[in-house]
Structure 1
Amino acid sequence: MNPTSHPQYDAAVVIYTRQGCHLCDDAEVLVRNFVSDIRLVDIDHEPELVQKFNTCVPVVEINGKVRFRGKVSPMLLKRVLEAEANSIPTDANL
């Protein structure tokens, strides 16, 4: 790994977004530095999501928990992903 690359984490990440949202685009680029499998959900296609997240996008959900609303902090993102990775039981812990 070169010094500018980031470790990849195995996490279920959903980013709730909408078209034309620059913060959403920024969040996607940032999260892709750490997680390769991301699901993007455009809230404008589901009325209940518009009601839930309307002006809060992007919303980043990691392993089923909402972790960010609006701007995503790279340092906090890395900390959350590391904590999630350390909380997953391995075969040795079973």
Structure 2
Amino acid sequence: MQTRVVLYGNPGCHLCDDARAVVERVCADLGVGWQEVTISGDPELMAKYGELIPVTVVDGRQHSKWRVDEQQLRAALQR
């Protein structure tokens, strides 16, 4: 299954936990591959996303930051 969604975040981040639940549910419903990337060990990712996490990327483009709207994510993946 091709990865279409990437969720950037950190362990212990409650917003990341909320975003993960939405991404897991939507991707499972639609049969879409996704992965989670922890940014804390990567200085480049920390510089890029540090204050914005969780950040969701769909098909290589930033889709959301801080919160993931389930309906918007579904719509983006069904295009």
TM > 0.5 fold call:
yes
Q: Which has the higher contact order (CA 8 A, sep 6+)?
A: 2
The answer to which of 66-75 and 34-43 deviates more is: 34-43
Distance 1:67 1:61 in 2: 5
Percent identical: 32
CA RMSD of aligned residues (A): 1.4
Superposition map of 1:10-89 within 5 A: 12-36=4-28, 37-83=33-79
Structure 2: runs of 5+ lacking an equivalent: none
Shift >6 Å, 4+ stretches: none
Shift of 1:30: 0.6
Shift of 1:20: 1.1
